[in-house]
């Protein structure tokens, strides 16, 4: 029986180890090694930090990197602010059938591909689009208005795309908050604002953290939305990675870019978990 | 602010208005995509030129409908094939992972669990390039060592499947683990007492209990694979799945053909969602 249990353990462990080592760990180590390689001659390579030097030395790369990071943080904050009242309404105010219907409605847009959603925003925002025509029809604008190809359009797309990943964890944590606790807060003389600040938000913290992490990751790593909705000046960091790999075929520099993106995202995830006293197992698992 | 605590009327109405506005915002992009699939014009934009089915069934240029557009149909087939492979692979590994973490206490379990969650916090595009880099390293080594050209390790469907599998497995593991945790192990022990061996007990008792989660994980994995863009973009070869094929067209300028494809996608995934919900209800 012991031997059988041991065999079962090994059989279950093998797929996990194969998956994690061959598809996650070793590829990332390999990518890190590639990013430390510099071409010194035909078919000759040396270990150096030249690619990272290029990254830090070229203002365009650095600026794009920082811009992508700040815009992703901003998109996360906006998503949180828009989603929180909605999640609260679904979890605490709506009851019974309305509650489950509203929750399902929130999920619907995310059953279709991100490409379709982005395409929808293009139809709405472009010069010949729905909003532009609406504005002209109501007389608010005299000519066609181009609302596409700028940072605001990117922001609209990013927030829309990640909404679900904020609403769902928020609803889940808010549902577990007992109404009696909120009533007690009011009974003890709290105002709506102090109840929100001292009872509801602390209780919702795990949901806020996991939602924010996922939304931040999705925004940072997004390629489609910035490419389709952004203009010539709104370059996203993932576009740089793509162009180094596929267009320029400079894999060494592309790998360095990829690694910088990985470091940035890991750092922000780690810092968020640290600041709020959460762990990855608790927020994701 | 809960129903049992009275609030000023104005505030309540403002709140409801906000919720309504939010759902309009959610529905708007999808609604316009769907509506313009029926516009009798070369562009998916105003003015409205009248209703037509041509973007679905049209046979002649310039209005070739989805059902007569070969490249799009082929891309849908490719996506379905990839989605099927990813769903089967990731749910299989997800199930073994769930059993491993649920049933065994071993050294390094905590570390492995965190590692298992990692793919969720790695940007998809980075996952894509790391797999691309590693597979070409292996392919190049193979060529240098034995002059064998491992076609399968070059960008193409095999890599797309592996790339999507690498992070969808985490999701499948989480979905199946959640249900396995609710399982009452004494049921399995009862089967053992009644003379079943371990494998029979798991097959006849535990797996049927897990079925709703397994079906759910298959549907979610298939949809995530079908929709995936970032990882696929880095690993794709000459056979483009649907999202990539549509992206290439969209860059060149869009026709209502894309709206028609999108509408079909919406209908397809809603049907899948309904099937899944019905199945979960029954369980």
Q: Report ipTM (2 d.p.).
A: 0.85
A59 to chain B, closest Cα gap in Å: 22
Question: Of chain A residues 261-280, which have a CB less than 8 A from chain B?
Answer: 261-262, 265-266, 269, 280
Q: What angle do CA B224, B229, B233 make, to 5 degrees?
A: 135
Residues from chain B that touch A185, judged by Cβ atoms under 8 A, are none
Residues from chain B that touch A82, judged by Cβ atoms under 8 A, are 22
Q: Nearest Cα to A225, choosing from A128, A130, A113?
A: A113
Tell me which residues of chain B have a pLDDT lower than 50.
none
A279 has a pLDDT exceeding 60: yes
Contact call for residues B34 and B56 (beta carbons, < 8 A): no
Residues from chain A that touch B247, judged by Cβ atoms under 8 A, are 115, 224
Q: Per the CB < 8 Å rule, is A113 touching B226?
A: yes
Identify the pLDDT of residue A50. Answer: 81
Tokens 């060529």, located at residue: B143
Identify the pLDDT of residue A36. Answer: 86
Distance between CA A185 and CA A201 in Å, rounded? 13
Q: Per the CB < 8 Å rule, is A111 touching B123?
A: no
Contact call for residues B269 and A107 (beta carbons, < 8 A): no
The model's pLDDT over B113-162, given as tens digits with 9 standing for 90+, comes to 888 988 888 888 999 999 999 998 888 888 888 877 777 778 888 899 99
Largest CA distance in chain A: 82
Residues from chain B that touch A114, judged by Cβ atoms under 8 A, are 227, 229
Residues from chain B that touch A9, judged by Cβ atoms under 8 A, are 100, 104, 106
Tokens 């650095």, located at residue: A62
Q: Per the CB < 8 Å rule, is B130 touching A27?
A: yes
* Residue A164 main-chain phi, psi, to 5 deg: -55, -40
Contact call for residues B51 and B38 (beta carbons, < 8 A): yes
Distance between CA A156 and CA B72 in Å, rounded? 29
Cα A149 to chain centroid, rounded? 21
Identify the pLDDT of residue B93. Answer: 94
Distance between CA B97 and CA A16 in Å, rounded? 6
Q: Per the CB < 8 Å rule, is B15 touching A89?
A: yes
Shortest CA distance from A4: residue in chain B: B198
What global pTM score does this model have? 0.86
Identify the pLDDT of residue B58. Answer: 64
Angstrom distances, CA of residue B183 to CA of B91, B99, B179, B281 = 18, 11, 7, 18
Identify the pLDDT of residue A79. Answer: 94
Name the more confident of B151 and A83. A83
Distance between CA A126 and CA B46 in Å, rounded? 10
User: Is the Cα dihedral B163, B167, B169, B175 positive or negative?
Assistant: negative
Q: Nearest Cα to A260, choosing from A68, A101, A15?
A: A68
Report the SS3 class of residue A94: coil
Tokens of B49: 């030129």
A43 has a pLDDT exceeding 90: no
Identify the pLDDT of residue A107. Answer: 78
Residues from chain A that touch B269, judged by Cβ atoms under 8 A, are 111-112
Backbone dihedral region of A176: left (phi > 0), alpha (psi from -120 to 50 degrees) or beta? alpha
Q: Nearest Cα to A204, choosing from A116, A115, A86?
A: A86
Flag whether residue A42 sits within 8 Å of chain B, measured between CB atoms.
no
Distance between CA A212 and CA B120 in Å, rounded? 13
B121 to chain A, closest Cα gap in Å: 7
Distance between CA A187 and CA B226 in Å, rounded? 51
Distance between CA A25 and CA A19 in Å, rounded? 9
Q: How many CB pairs under 8 A join A and B?
A: 242
Tokens of B21: 């506005």
A209 has a pLDDT exceeding 70: yes
Strand partners, A41: A44
Identify the pLDDT of residue B1. Answer: 63
Identify the pLDDT of residue B197. Answer: 82
């Amino acid at each position: 029986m012991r031997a059988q249990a041991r065999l079962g353990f090994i059989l279950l462990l093998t797929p996990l180890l194969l998956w994690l080592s061959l598809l996650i760990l070793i590829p990332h180590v390999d990518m890190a090694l590639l990013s430390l390689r510099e071409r010194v001659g035909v078919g000759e390579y040396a270990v150096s930090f030249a690619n990272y030097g290029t990254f830090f030395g070229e203002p365009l790369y650095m600026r794009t990197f920082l811009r992508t990071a700040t815009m992703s943080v901003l998109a996360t904050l906006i998503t949180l602010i828009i989603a929180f009242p909605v999640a609260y309404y679904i979890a605490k105010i709506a009851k019974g059938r309305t509650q489950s219907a509203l929750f399902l409605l929130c999920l619907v847009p995310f059953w279709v591909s991100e490409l379709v959603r982005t395409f929808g925003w293009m139809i709405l925002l472009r010069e010949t689009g729905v909003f532009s025509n609406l504005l002209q029809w109501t007389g608010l604008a005299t000519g066609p208005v181009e609302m596409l190809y700028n940072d605001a359009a990117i922001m609209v797309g990013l927030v829309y795309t990640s909404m679900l990943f904020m609403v769902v964890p928020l609803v889940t944590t808010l549902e577990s908050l007992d109404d009696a606790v909120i009533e007690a807060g009011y009974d003890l003389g709290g105002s709506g604002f102090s109840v929100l600040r001292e009872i509801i938000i602390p209780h919702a913290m795990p949901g806020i953290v996991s939602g924010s992490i996922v939304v931040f990751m999705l925004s940072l790593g997004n390629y489609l939305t910035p490419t389709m909705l952004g203009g010539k000046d709104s370059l996203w960091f993932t576009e740089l990675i793509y162009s180094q790999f596929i267009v320029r075929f400079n894999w060494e520099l592309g790998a360095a870019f990829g690694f910088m993106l990985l470091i940035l995202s890991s750092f922000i995830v780690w810092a968020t978990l640290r600041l709020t006293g959460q762990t990855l197992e608790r927020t994701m698992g | 602010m809960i129903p049992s605590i009275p609030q000023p009327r104005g505030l309540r109405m403002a709140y409801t208005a906000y919720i309504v506005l939010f759902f309009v915002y959610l529905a708007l992009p999808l609604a316009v995509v769907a509506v313009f699939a029926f516009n009798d014009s070369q562009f998916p934009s105003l003015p409205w030129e009248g209703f037509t089915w041509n973007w679905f069934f049209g046979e002649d240029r310039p209005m070739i409908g989805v059902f007569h557009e070969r490249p799009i149909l082929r891309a849908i087939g490719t996506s379905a094939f990839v989605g099927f492979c990813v769903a089967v692979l990731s749910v299989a590994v997800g199930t073994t992972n769930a059993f491993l973490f649920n049933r065994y206490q071993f050294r390094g379990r905590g570390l492995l669990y965190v590692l298992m969650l990692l793919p969720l916090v790695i940007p998809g595009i980075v996952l894509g390039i790391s797999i691309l880099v590693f597979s070409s390293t292996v392919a190049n080594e193979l060529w240098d060592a034995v002059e064998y050209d491992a076609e399968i390790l070059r960008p193409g469907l095999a890599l797309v499947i592996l790339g999507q599998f690498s992070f969808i497995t985490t999701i499948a593991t989480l979905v199946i683990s959640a249900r396995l945790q609710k399982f009452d192990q004494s049921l399995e022990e009862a089967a053992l007492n009644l003379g079943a061996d371990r494998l029979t007990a798991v097959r006849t008792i535990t797996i049927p209990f897990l079925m709703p989660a397994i079906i759910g994980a298959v549907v979610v994995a298939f949809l995530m694979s079908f929709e995936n863009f970032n990882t696929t973009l880095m690993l794709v070869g000459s056979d483009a799945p649907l999202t990539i094929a549509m992206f290439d067209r969209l860059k060149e300028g869009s026709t209502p053909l894309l709206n028609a494809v999108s509408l079909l996608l919406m209908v397809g995934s809603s049907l899948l969602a309904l099937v899944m919900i019905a199945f979960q209800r029954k369980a």
